[in-house]
Amino acid sequence: MFSTSCHYGLQAMLYIALHSTADRNVDLNQIASEQDIPKHFLSKILQLLVRNKLLISMKGPTGGFRLSRPAEKITLIEIIAAIDGLDVFTQCGIGFKKCSDSNPCPIHHDFKIVRERVKNLFETKTLYQLTRDIENGDSIVNLRKPVVQK
């Protein structure tokens, strides 16, 4: 449904939400390595998210990326809109260019319902909700914050 860039952007934003703080940025190399995303490709995606004001980028020895606002204020649809746009939520399910309510393809009405439910999911889910699921062990994704040994 989404481009590879969008998938990587969603994964990187979630990773940054889990690992950055107001005074700690996450390094591009760290994200690329731990998420197995090509560094050059990820760099372009993250810069796009910076231009769309979803991330802050800092240079220097303590540089890297962090969220531009709290994770509870960033919905997944914002990330999708920044990378892929929202056309995916209006396109024909089987690819016809002239499919519409007045000129429907064979699956138009059923697919429209599915598209709207998926769009609603991404409009209502925040990065914070996803980080909570990961931190609580409710997700199988391995992005947890590392346990600090004392």
Domain residue limits, the chain? 4-135
**Architecture per CATH, 4-135:** Orthogonal Bundle (1.10)
Residue 56 · residue 65 · CB < 8 Å: yes
Q: For residue 67, which of 59, 79, 77 has the smallest C-alpha distance?
A: 79
Q: Report the predicted TM-score, pTM, of the whole model to 2 decimal places.
A: 0.87
What pLDDT sits at residue 143? 58
In the structure, what pLDDT confidence band is assigned to residue 129 with cuts at 50, 70 and 90? very high
| Residue 55 clears pLDDT 80, i.e. is over it | yes
| 66 secondary structure, DSSP code | E
The model's pLDDT over 62-112, given as tens digits with 9 standing for 90+, comes to 889 999 999 999 999 999 999 999 999 999 999 999 999 999 999 999 999
Token pair recorded at residue 107? 């699956």
In the structure, what pLDDT confidence band is assigned to residue 139 with cuts at 50, 70 and 90? confident
Could you tell me which residues come within 8 angstroms of residue 31 by beta carbon, excluding any fewer than 6 positions away? 12, 15, 16, 37, 42, 46, 65
What pLDDT sits at residue 21? 84
